[in-house]
Amino acid sequence: MISNPCTSSLVPGIYGSSVGLLARLKSRITFSSQFNSNKNGYMLWFPQSACDRHTGGTTASGINFVNWGNNNPDAGPPLQQYGNINAATTAQSIADPAFPFVSSDTCQDFRVIAACLRITYTGTTSNASGMIYPLTNIPEHMVLYGDGGNTPPSMTNISRFANNGFRATDTLEVVYRPVNIPTWTDGNVAPLISGTTTTNAAYSGTQQYFGNTAIGFVILNGTALSDYVIEAYKIIEWRPEPVSGFSIPQQRGNDNPNRITKALEFLDRTDPQWQQQVVSSLGGVAKSMLRDTVLAGASMMMNSMRGPPQIMNGEF
């Protein structure tokens, strides 16, 4: 489930315990409209949080999903535009796919199990151009400040974190790598950015580092960013509000850091590139077969570690 959050079965107990119910939450995303005609851009997602999209005002309670576009690949965005926390800027943050559910009266709290992004080119093949670079394990400070200074990275800057580039017509998938056992949260916790701004050029908010990492894509020299659609999937374990009508399951097992560590070690050893997959081109056929083999091996390994039985499947 860690290596294939987009389509795998929902199996509880990846962290050693099963406390709540499981759900896969998904959304279909495009670049912000002001970037539609740009040829270069990126989307970056910190799946650990579940923040809303900000559409204006002088205060941001937090963001964890950002995008940027420009015809100049060496241009980076002003920091405050990430969260659109100044009314004079236009929105560049994106609502997390889990936000509507975890902020509802049904969900009391949750923790992230797995997440992935999938990008698909929707333009004509004859007009396709440029390259897509999958990004994994991007640290917070890189997203906020690039290689230094006070501005987030340009497309050229952050593309250097990619191991490979792929054709614009390839459908690609990147997978989030858990860094630890997450804590239970009621939603808007450990966001990338929160605070206030006073001018278009000055940001007076707080940027705290929580050890989180981002996944995403960079597009360089493409046709137009409007030709791409990104699907975001997040698997969470959640506990219902007592008044929601859902039965609160009894905890089974205990969290064990060694369990997730061993699963990641197995994936790294079997396929060092398991966090990025080509899912639609001819070259992706063999890759998909390899991933199926890896998933089967990981499933057998996790079962041998005596995980708790499945409680509930749910997709939203």
pLDDT in tens, 221-263: 998 999 999 999 999 988 888 888 887 777 777 788 788 888 8
pLDDT value at residue 210: 55
Average pLDDT over residues 123-142: 87
What's the confidence (pLDDT) of residue 86? 39
Mean pLDDT of the 206-224 span: 79
pLDDT at 92: 62
Within a domain: 203: yes
Least confident interval from 12-21, 122-131, 215-224: 12-21
Lowest mean pLDDT among 123-132, 197-206, 229-238: 197-206
Q: What is the mean pLDDT of residues 209-230?
A: 87
Percent of the chain past pLDDT 70, that is, above it, reads: 69
Mapping DSSP to helix (H, G, I), strand (E, B) and coil, where does residue 59 land? strand
Rounded Cα–Cα distance for residues 181 and 122 (Å): 37
95, 51 Cβ separation under 8 angstroms? yes
- Better-scored residue on pLDDT, 184 or 42: 42
Report if residue 7 sits inside a domain: no
Are 241 and 185 contacting, i.e. CB atoms less than 8 angstroms apart? no
Residue 271 has pLDDT above 50, yes or no: yes
Statement: the pTM of the whole predicted model exceeds 0.75: yes
Distances (CA, A) of 260 to 1, 16, 256: 12, 8, 8
Is residue 121 situated within a structural domain? yes
Q: Is residue 168 part of a domain?
A: yes
- The structural domain count of the chain equals 1
pLDDT tens-digit profile of 16-75? 777 788 999 999 988 888 888 999 999 988 888 777 765 544 444 566 788 888 999 998
The answer to whether 88 touches 58, Cβ cutoff 8 Å, is no
Residue in 275, 279, 255 with CA at minimum distance from that of residue 267: 275
Host domain of residue 220 = 17-304
Give the model's pLDDT for residue 295.
Answer: 45
Is 80 exceeded by the pLDDT of residue 110? Answer: yes
Concatenating the DSSP letter of every residue in 76-121 gives ---GGGGTT-STTS---B---TTHHHHTSSSEEEEEEEEEEEEEEE
- What pairs with residue 218 in β-bridges? 42, 133
Domain with 267 in it: what CATH number? 2.60.120
- Tens-place pLDDT, residues 186-197: 754 445 555 443
pLDDT bracket for residue 313 (50, 70, 90):
very low
Instruction: Say if 316 falls within a structural domain.
Output: no
Average pLDDT over residues 289-316: 41
Q: Which two tokens stand for residue 19?
A: 């406390």
The answer as to whether 310 is a domain residue is no
How far lies 232's CA from each of 25, 120, 217, in Å?
Answer: 8, 12, 12
Which amino acid makes up residue 11? V
How far is it, in rounded angstroms, from Cα 294 to Cα 65? 29
More confident residue, 310 or 173: 173
Assigned domain for 5 exists: no
pLDDT at 215: 94
